[in-house]
Amino acid sequence: MKKMLAILAIAMVSMMMLAISCEKPEPEPEPEPEPVVKDYNFDLFVCAVKHGGMSKNKNGTYVRSVPALTADQPRVEFTGKGIDITEDYTLESITRGKYYYQVPQRATGGFVKFHIERNAAGEERIVEDAEVPFKENVYAARKYTHAWVGDSTTLVIVGTADKATKIIWSKLSESTLAVQSEGTLAISLPEGFNAFSTSGLLTYRKSDKKLYYFYLAKREAGQSDAATSVTYIAVIDPATMQVESNTAVPSSVMEETAGSAYGELMQSMIMYDEADNLYVAGMVTVNDQEMGILRRIPVGSKTFDASWNGFPNPEGKLLTVQYLGYGRALCYSRDESLGTKIDSKSHFYSIIDLASGTRMRVKYNGTDLQYCGGRFSQRSVVVNGKAYIGVGGEVEGEAEATYPTIYIYDCKTGTVEKGVELSKGFCFDIIRAMEVE
Amino acid sequence: MQFRRIWMSLISLLGCFVPLLGQDSLSVRGALDDTLMLRNATVTARSREQKLREGAFAVGALNIRLQASTLQSLTQAIDRTAGIRIREEGGVGSEFDLSINGMSGNSIRYFLDGMPLDAKGSGMTLANLPVNIIDRVEIYKGVIPASFGSDALGGAVNIITNRRNRNYLDFSYGFGSFHTHKADFNAQYTGKKTGIILKPVISASYSKNNYIMRDVKVRNEEHTAFVIKDLPRFHDDYLSLFGQLEAGVADRSWTDAFFVSASVAMIDKDIQTGATQDHVIGMAERHSRAVNVSARYEKADFLTEGLQLLATVSQTWDHSQTIDTTYRRYYWDGTYIDGSYSEIRGRGKTWRHYHRPLTVVRANLNYRFAEGHDLALNYLLNRAGNRQEDAWDTEFEPSSDVLAKHIVSLSYDQSLLGGRLNNAFFVKDYINHLTVGQNELPSTTGADKVTGSNTQNYLGGGLGSRYLFLDELAVKGSYEHSIRLPVSREVLGNGSTIYANVALKPEISENFNLGLFGTADLGGGHSLSYEVNGFFRLVDNYIRATVTETESMMQYVNVDAVHIKGVDGEIRYDWAGKLHIAANASFDDSRDMRKYTQSGDLSVTYRNRTPNRPWAYANTEVSYTFHQVGLRDSRLRLGFDYQYVHWFYLTWEAYGSASTKSKVPTQHITNASLLYSWRGGRYNLSLECTNLLNALAFDNYRLQKPGRAFFLKFRLFL
């Protein structure tokens, strides 16, 4: 009898949890969120010993490319496997289709385009498709931001020069990487400040065919704790690279973007919805503590809508945002009360309902996904209507109770299923979905 | 060019000096007594090197005096020794790293006549020390006698300079590929009336190091694409000048030897690459200047019979500069584009000055209380300052760090059973005091964790024993619990390519050695000697150099537990002083033995071989000497040697698949030499060809070494 009661209880709890996790969203129009990618691999980046973002890693960066992240896949092993990219490439990269584009680590003085191939035995290798030297403008590995313009055949790269006192740009051909044109943006340092932010954030909005460049200035170059100016939004004509407007953002609206040093080479901080509203993750100071904020530049406008905040009552910093479709976004943020170090196990995933401004922790079987270490990471990717969310227990000094695991969120239904596991012993930093031809 | 003008001035100066010192005041009694050729006689006495090898400790000994006429630098000779591997970053004057039985270069201490070599200036190394002044080199593997008062962990290299009892003059000049020139002059003169002994030394070397870099990427003419070319290095000039005058007296009632000396060292070095050759540098430079004064006092039967005192005090003012004031991005063809970051550090422009005063005080008291029984008390103070300032970067805050070490040791040596059994016992106390003032890049250098001053104390000790069964068979073993305090370069960086790590912990090691050796006289002038040494090192907080992913910079880090075990062996054959064949091979197995990470998880690198270090290498050398070839009292020696270094991974084996991992490839290097001496060694002419087969060689990851090179050297010894 006791056994039957126990089985019954377990069954009831299971049904309840399933109901919670499979909670259906309100009926609403269902536009196709993103073009369907026919075939793709997932490239998983890990670092040895410590997390690798923000060039913090000194122990090596390794990447494996796998065809699927579903639970039926074997655990992804990294010991003695994967491509060692440490000496040649950076963890941070521009990606599009099957290709990676970057200023490589090996410092040969140019840009490189490559892709990752996997042979029949599942072993990966990097194939370089193009490498071109810098023309006049020189960029350092990682320290730039980018946007694809027009029909995405042109890549615009923006960085800083002369001890970060001027902002330079280059336009590259997507196919050959040839530098088509380059120059310096007509933006001056605000009075009293002597350096621009390392890269700022650049994005291209299709609806008005404009580049939006978010930047700020620092009192002293190279110092992370230097006093900063307000954030500015420069609207740029991508054809001429002329700055059409340059607007200061009131501190109450947003003090800084969520990141301003390495563009979106690693973390996604800007997103668009179907209507082409532009969303930017940022920070404001609340009670002497930097807290996350999500602002929106409505379609047709060139400034933030100060009345709208997609990340109210924050627990801490907002680190990444990715649009899921259906008026929802996936965000990665931090609970300051649980720790503020890079490896603090205080980072978690939530789903934001952009219409209501409410958000809810991502759950699996009714339980919140666990907190993660890795402030500088991008372990989530959205492709073909699904968000693949990586949760790792990799925190220096703490035993990993579980294997790093991928959870798969269905953007349409909101259901969450467990995916593949990754081996322990490495710091899991990035998932990228890369097309396969 | 400034280098060339200095060079020509120096040659002129030497040209004037040689005839002056070559006059009758010098006792010219023939040259190179040690290399006198004895015909129709067989001498079987043991050399000093042989005696040293037969001591209780594991020692490699090299007679440099016999090789001085052909050697370009000391590193050449040491690199051919069993268990020793020298990794060079490039050509003449490049940075190098020496390992003994698998322990890395900074675990090794260098001494010049028992005093730390860096007292001559931070730029003075085995690579630029004048070869002609050196008599022999002692290489201690693992366990180091207490008399050095040192905290070496992997071993020590002690360079013994010539101490002749007569006046002499020794001059050499050589030139070779890549615009390389070297001149050494040293002499000894004893005043007839005063008995004051003067020993001047002048040494200079210069090289453009413009050897060909193969398969490097440069821009095409339109600057639209990369093309692959072979191109010469273009910014690697090196100039080293060293001058020293030593004056003193010997064999007086109040002293056996009392000398004071003053030396000046000057090194100018262009910087061509970062930590890998992809990072091309075209303007940055490094300069160092050092002035040293020292005094040495020796007295036997000091205060009481049997008590010997050796006391040395030395003060060095070392000033080096790293000039990194150009925002340029260079390519291997010498072209560049203006960039936004400095060449070395990849940040703002800097002109960093480092003032590193070094005080060394050493005292040895040795008391022979019975025949074959010696008790010794040793003290060494090594205090290095590190004051940094920047002549360009106005935002840089000057800082001052101090690293002071006091090492006290007590040793007892005994010789029993008529000298068949030798034992040595010793204890050492290490006191390390660090004051950290620098706060640049605190999260990288650890300056945010270690501030102010701290003092730490460590105890070590060991023993050694040797038993001689027969001339053909002897056994020796030694053990030491040793501490190796980080050197200033590891803790404080070098200001250009090495970040500081002020949180670095000392290495602690249990060192075990066991060896067999012997010499067999086969008759008819044939002799064979051999030596086999096994070793085991259990190292905690092993200090390893890592190339950081950012800006091609290096940094030294601790690895928790590393076990190194291995064996090296050498066999030497000689026939009547004519035919000499030697071969040695070394193998060491260094593993990460930390099974669990700090978090308690199984470490993925557990039992992995320690990366970025050679672990299997071998050398062979053959020489044949012809006597009386052409001129009177002449000899002609033809030599050939081959070096093999097995490939190794740059990073841990567990990281990444084998096919994509970065490796330092296998090396096969062959060298050939020819030496012609006449008038009993008074005149010597040598021609050497290094890397005879022009092999592509790398000691370090993506840092190509020179290809085939020739060097012609003339040496005069009066």
In the predicted structure, residue A22 carries a pLDDT above the cut 50? no
**CA–CA distance, B430 with B432 (Å, rounded to integer):** 6
Provide the pLDDT for residue B282.
95
Question: Contact A134/A73 with Cβ under 8 angstroms?
Answer: no
pLDDT confidence of A272, banded at 50, 70, 90?
very high
Chain A residues whose CB is inside 8 A of the B501 CB are none
Over range A183-198, report the average pLDDT. Answer: 93
Closest-CA distance, A172 to chain B, in angstroms, reads 12
CATH architecture, domain B2-717: Beta Barrel (2.40)
E strand or H helix at B350: strand B350-355
In the predicted structure, residue B24 carries a pLDDT above the cut 90? no
Provide the pLDDT for residue B74.
85
Closest-CA distance, B223 to chain A, in angstroms, reads 7
Comparing alpha-carbon positions, the chain A residue that sits nearest to B395 is A220
pLDDT confidence of B18, banded at 50, 70, 90?
very low
Inspect the interface and report whether the beta carbons of A82 and B341 lie closer than 8 Å.
no
In the predicted structure, residue B690 carries a pLDDT above the cut 50? yes
Over range B605-630, report the average pLDDT. Answer: 90
Chain B residues whose CB is inside 8 A of the A126 CB are 660
Q: A97-101, A278-282, A351-355, B80-84 — which is least confidently predicted? A: B80-84
In the predicted structure, residue B391 carries a pLDDT above the cut 50? yes
pLDDT confidence of A18, banded at 50, 70, 90?
very low
Over range B415-427, report the average pLDDT. Answer: 89
In the predicted structure, residue A430 carries a pLDDT above the cut 90? yes
Cβ-count burial B182-218 (b if 16+ within 10 Å, e if not): bbbbbbbbbeeeeeebebbbbbbbbbbbbbbbeebbb
> Best residue in A62, A87, A180 to probe B by mutation, most B CBs within 10 Å?
A87
pLDDT confidence of B448, banded at 50, 70, 90?
low
Provide the pLDDT for residue B677.
92
Residue pairs spanning A and B at CB distance below 8 A: 145
In the predicted structure, residue B341 carries a pLDDT above the cut 50? yes
Residue spans per domain, chain A: 102-265, 267-424
> Taking the CA atoms of chain A, what radius of gyration do you get in angstroms?
22
Q: Residues B416, B422, B423, B429: what is their CA dihedral angle, to the nearest 10 degrees?
A: 130
**CA–CA distance, A191 with B498 (Å, rounded to integer):** 36
Over range B463-472, report the average pLDDT. Answer: 89
In the predicted structure, residue A12 carries a pLDDT above the cut 70? no
Coil vs helix vs strand at B444:
helix
Closest-CA distance, A243 to chain B, in angstroms, reads 22
pLDDT tens by residue, B639-680 = 999 999 999 998 888 888 888 888 999 999 999 999 999 998
Provide the pLDDT for residue B631.
87
Over range B91-115, report the average pLDDT. Answer: 82
Inspect the interface and report whether the beta carbons of A80 and B656 lie closer than 8 Å.
yes
Q: Please, what is the average pLDDT of chain A?
A: 86
pLDDT tens by residue, A205-255 = 999 999 999 999 988 765 556 688 999 999 999 999 999 999 999 999 999
Q: Please, what is the average pLDDT of chain B?
A: 84
pLDDT confidence of B12, banded at 50, 70, 90?
very low
Q: Looking at the partner chain, which of A59, A131, A400 has a beta carbon nearest the beta carbon of B599?
A: A400
As given in the structure block, the two tokens for residue B620 are 């062979």
Chain B residues whose CB is inside 8 A of the A125 CB are 659-660
pLDDT confidence of B602, banded at 50, 70, 90?
confident
E strand or H helix at A304: none
In the predicted structure, residue A345 carries a pLDDT above the cut 90? no
pLDDT tens by residue, A364-396 = 999 999 888 888 889 999 999 999 999 975 554
> Best residue in B273, B340, B701 to probe A by mutation, most A CBs within 10 Å?
B340
Question: Contact A320/A380 with Cβ under 8 angstroms?
Answer: yes
> Best residue in A112, A138, A184, A224 to probe B by mutation, most B CBs within 10 Å?
A138
In the predicted structure, residue B123 carries a pLDDT above the cut 60? yes
Q: A13-22, A312-321, B117-126 — which is least confidently predicted? A: A13-22
Q: Looking at the partner chain, which of B225, B274, B657 has a beta carbon nearest the beta carbon of A81?
A: B657
Question: Contact B438/B388 with Cβ under 8 angstroms?
Answer: yes
Provide the pLDDT for residue A162.
83
> Best residue in B655, B659, B698 to probe A by mutation, most A CBs within 10 Å?
B655
Provide the pLDDT for residue B84.
85
Q: Looking at the partner chain, which of A48, A52, A221 has a beta carbon nearest the beta carbon of B655?
A: A48
Instruction: List Cβ neighbours of B60 (8 Å cut-off, separation of 6 or more).
Output: B53, B81, B82, B83, B84, B138, B139, B141
Over range B484-488, report the average pLDDT. Answer: 76
Residue spans per domain, chain B: 2-717
Comparing alpha-carbon positions, the chain B residue that sits nearest to A47 is B655
Provide the pLDDT for residue A180.
93
Q: Which residue has the higher pLDDT, A326 or A15?
A: A326
In the predicted structure, residue B439 carries a pLDDT above the cut 80? no
Q: Looking at the partner chain, which of B279, B338, B557 has a beta carbon nearest the beta carbon of A107?
A: B279
Provide the pLDDT for residue A425.
82
As given in the structure block, the two tokens for residue B312 are 């040395």
In the predicted structure, residue A135 carries a pLDDT above the cut 60? yes
**CA–CA distance, A89 with A108 (Å, rounded to integer):** 11
pTM score: 0.82
Inspect the interface and report whether the beta carbons of A159 and B662 lie closer than 8 Å.
no
Over range A101-125, report the average pLDDT. Answer: 89
Closest-CA distance, B560 to chain A, in angstroms, reads 13
Inspect the interface and report whether the beta carbons of A138 and B339 lie closer than 8 Å.
yes
Inspect the interface and report whether the beta carbons of B662 and A398 lie closer than 8 Å.
no
Q: Looking at the partner chain, which of A140, A160, A222 has a beta carbon nearest the beta carbon of B348?
A: A222
Q: For chain A, what is the total number of helices (H) and then of strands (E)? A: 1, 32
Q: What percent of chain B has pLDDT over 90?
A: 41
Comparing alpha-carbon positions, the chain B residue that sits nearest to A162 is B340
Provide the pLDDT for residue B30.
36
Q: Which of A414, A103, A68, A48 is nearest to A265 (CA)?
A: A103
Q: A158-172, A278-292, B74-88 — which is least confidently predicted? A: B74-88
Provide the pLDDT for residue B155.
84
Over range A328-353, report the average pLDDT. Answer: 91
Q: Which residue has the higher pLDDT, B681 or B622?
A: B622
Inspect the interface and report whether the beta carbons of A106 and B652 lie closer than 8 Å.
no
CA separation, residue B322 to residues B69, B80, B349, B352 (Å): 35, 33, 11, 5
Chain B residues whose CB is inside 8 A of the A79 CB are 604, 654
Inspect the interface and report whether the beta carbons of A134 and B224 lie closer than 8 Å.
no
Inspect the interface and report whether the beta carbons of B660 and A126 lie closer than 8 Å.
yes
pLDDT tens by residue, B192-219 = 889 899 999 999 999 999 999 999 999 9
In the predicted structure, residue A75 carries a pLDDT above the cut 60? yes
Closest-CA distance, B658 to chain A, in angstroms, reads 7
Provide the pLDDT for residue B453.
72
pLDDT tens by residue, B538-580 = 888 888 777 654 445 677 888 777 788 999 999 999 999 899 9
Q: Which residue has the higher pLDDT, B2 or A414?
A: A414
Inspect the interface and report whether the beta carbons of B340 and A168 lie closer than 8 Å.
yes
Chain A residues whose CB is inside 8 A of the B557 CB are 58
> Best residue in A108, A175, A395 to probe B by mutation, most B CBs within 10 Å?
A108
Provide the pLDDT for residue A52.
67
